[in-house]
Amino acid sequence: MKRYDYLIVGCGLFGAVVAYELSRNGKVCIAIDKRNHVGGNVYTECVNDIIVHKYGAHIFHTNNEHVWDYVNSFAEFNRYTNSPLANYKGKLYNLPFNMNTFYQMWGVTTPKEARMKIESQKTEATMNTPQNLEEQAISLVGKDIYKTLIKGYTEKQWGKKAVELPAFIIRRLPVRFTFDNNYFDDRYQGIPIGGYTPIIEKMLQKSDIVLDTDYFSDKKFWNSLADTVIYTGEIDRYFDYCYGVLGYRSLHFKTSILKNQSNFQGNAVVNYTDADTPYTRIIEHKHFEFGQQADTVITKEYPIAFQTGIDPYYPINDDKNNMLYKRYLQLAQQQENVYFGGRLAEYKYYNMDQVIECALKITQNYLSFN
Ligand code: FAD
Ligand code: UDP
């Protein structure tokens, strides 16, 4: 059997960047994935001539010029700017929270009026340092927006009460006192024309790839092929859940092709922020690339409970899970010739640009040591 310098477990973005960097530095790599395709959650496929983001909307955004130049060396990006709408019981609001939202919610037309409205809705608990997502949200945007656009969505998304969730989750979203519906504050943003899969394929071009293969089905065999392992799966699974199972939230995606309907919702992303609609958002994929096709493809995203054996999409980074992760991290640091990286192995709510940044940094370290 052929020998490799590196075995990479997981052909997602982290694994692919590492494989690319190692192989262009003369290392011989094999990359395996339990799914039947490369790309992990950034995987896109062509359905009825439309690029479909199979695992939910993926918009590339970053402030890191180096990372932006790096991804642009693999694909051309378009000028897409994410501006989702929120549908609350049939009424539409702009996101993220900005002057358009404040006008739609309260009829206020100036930043001063908007700030006064928010101030008047802060409770005593939210005046001090917010202790949870609910307090943080009310302190940022007031009670009305919290109840209409945040509480229902958040509790569906995470399967927990907003008071049980960490405050940082809602700070992902900008709050602006300008009429600006751009969901991100980052300097660079776009969608790779033709999707993410071609980028990943380019990154993995020089590596041997084995799909439909779970590393744990024969860990000993896979380890025997290479000197060093890069592991990008769930960290708790690697250690056979010896300290317990980390909390994750999972998703179910329901995709439909709508024949002879060229424009279903007029926007790539519409969030459903009430508690009763079982899905959190509907993606209409063609709008990521300004498509003019006769048909359209939509995906409804349903949050579901995680159990071992199904895909974990979101780490739940509350104090309890973070403590548990730290114990696994200590074990990970004791492993010889095994390195852990990416959203699942580092148990972090990473965006794509952060994954690339970490993968580049870590690869430089491997290369200087090996
Ligand atoms: P993954 O993509 O999860 O890849 C890990 C791979 O390892 C998977 O392919 C898995 O099958 C494989 N694997 C795991 N265990 C094993 C095993 N035992 N054996 C073999 N293979 C294994 N980021 C943004 O920047 N912008 C966005 O708009 C955005 N939207 C998102 C929307 C959703 C719904 C989700 C869930 C994430 C979103 N992200 C977004 C985050 C983005 O998906 C991640 O940052 C990125 O995909 C993480 O890459 P990764 O390689 O670490 O993990
Ligand atoms: N959120 C919300 N209402 C929305 C959109 C987001 O309450 O319409 C909250 C929710 O708690 C979500 C968090 O903001 O988990 C972060 O949103 P983001 O869009 O960054 O989530 P992701 O795209 O990672 O699922």
Per-residue pLDDT tens digits for 229-276: 999 999 999 999 999 999 999 999 999 999 999 999 999 999 999 999
217 and 338 co-located in one domain: yes
Residue 2: per-residue pLDDT: 81
Residue of 278, 274, 267, 268 lying closest to 301 (CA atoms): 278
Q: How many CB atoms lie within 10 A of CB 46?
A: 12
Residue 365: per-residue pLDDT: 85
Residue 370: per-residue pLDDT: 64
Cis peptide before 312 (omega within 30 of 0): no
DSSP lists the bridge partners of residue 145 as none
Q: How many Å apart are CA 50 and CA 60, to the nearest integer? A: 18
Cα of 124 to ligand 2 centre, how many Å? 25
234 and 336 co-located in one domain: yes
Instruction: Establish whether residue 246 lines the binding site of ligand 1, counting it when its CB lies within 6 angstroms of any ligand atom.
Output: no
Confidence label for 367 from pLDDT (cuts 50, 70 and 90): confident
Confidence label for 122 from pLDDT (cuts 50, 70 and 90): confident
User: Closest residue (by CA) to atom 48 of ligand 1?
Assistant: 343
Is the residue at 177 inside a domain? Answer: no
Q: State the DSSP code for 217.
A: G
225 and 252 co-located in one domain: no
Q: What is the mean pLDDT of residues 112-124?
A: 92
148-190 pLDDT, tens digit per residue, is 999 999 999 999 999 999 999 999 999 999 999 999 999 999 9
Q: State the DSSP code for 84.
A: -
Instruction: Establish whether residue 344 lines the binding site of ligand 1, counting it when its CB lies within 6 angstroms of any ligand atom.
Output: yes
Is the residue at 329 inside a domain? Answer: yes
**Pocket perturbation via mutation, ligand 1, pick of 232, 280, 299 by most ligand atoms within 8 A of CB:** 232
Instruction: Establish whether residue 32 lines the binding site of ligand 1, counting it when its CB lies within 6 angstroms of any ligand atom.
Output: yes
Q: How many Å apart are CA 182 and CA 219, to the nearest integer? A: 45
User: Closest residue (by CA) to atom 10 of ligand 2?
Assistant: 154
The share of the chain scoring above pLDDT 90, in percent, equals 95
Is the residue at 178 inside a domain? Answer: no
Is the residue at 284 inside a domain? Answer: yes
60 and 139 co-located in one domain: no
Ligand lying nearest the CA atom of residue 8: 1
Residue of 212, 219, 213 lying closest to 237 (CA atoms): 219
Cα of 71 to ligand 2 centre, how many Å? 25
For 242-366, strand residue ranges (E) read 248-258, 269-272, 281-284, 296-305, 314-315, 338-340
241 and 252 co-located in one domain: no
Q: What is the mean pLDDT of the chain?
A: 96
Is residue 227's pLDDT more than 80? yes
233 and 321 co-located in one domain: yes
Cα of 273 to ligand 2 centre, how many Å? 10
188-204 pLDDT, tens digit per residue, is 999 999 999 999 999 99
Q: What is the mean pLDDT of residues 211-223?
A: 98
Cα of 84 to ligand 2 centre, how many Å? 11
- Residue 127 tokens, joined: 């005046």
Is the residue at 349 inside a domain? Answer: yes
Q: What is the mean pLDDT of residues 201-224?
A: 98
Q: What is the mean pLDDT of residues 130-146?
A: 95
pTM: 0.97
76 and 223 co-located in one domain: yes
- Residue-range definition of the domain harbouring residue 73: 4-80+188-245+316-369
* CB within 8 Å of 149: residues ≥ 6 apart: 86, 88, 93, 95, 97, 101, 273
Ligand lying nearest the CA atom of residue 216: 1
Total domains in the fold of the chain:
3
241 and 340 co-located in one domain: yes
Residue 125: per-residue pLDDT: 64
CB burial string 63-102: b at 16+ within 10 A, e below? ebeebbebbeebbebeebebbbbbbbeeeebbbbbbbbbb
47-84 pLDDT, tens digit per residue, is 999 999 999 999 999 999 999 999 999 999 999 999 99
Instruction: Establish whether residue 86 lines the binding site of ligand 2, counting it when its CB lies within 6 angstroms of any ligand atom.
Output: yes
Q: In 3-state terms, what secondary structure has residue 74?
A: coil
Ligand lying nearest the CA atom of residue 157: 2
Atom of ligand 2 nearest to the CA of 137: 7
Instruction: Establish whether residue 75 lines the binding site of ligand 2, counting it when its CB lies within 6 angstroms of any ligand atom.
Output: no
294 and 328 co-located in one domain: no
Q: How many Å apart are CA 208 and CA 45, to the nearest integer? A: 21
Instruction: Establish whether residue 286 lines the binding site of ligand 1, counting it when its CB lies within 6 angstroms of any ligand atom.
Output: no
Q: How many Å apart are CA 241 and CA 248, to the nearest integer? A: 14
Residue 126: per-residue pLDDT: 66
Instruction: Establish whether residue 101 lines the binding site of ligand 2, counting it when its CB lies within 6 angstroms of any ligand atom.
Output: no
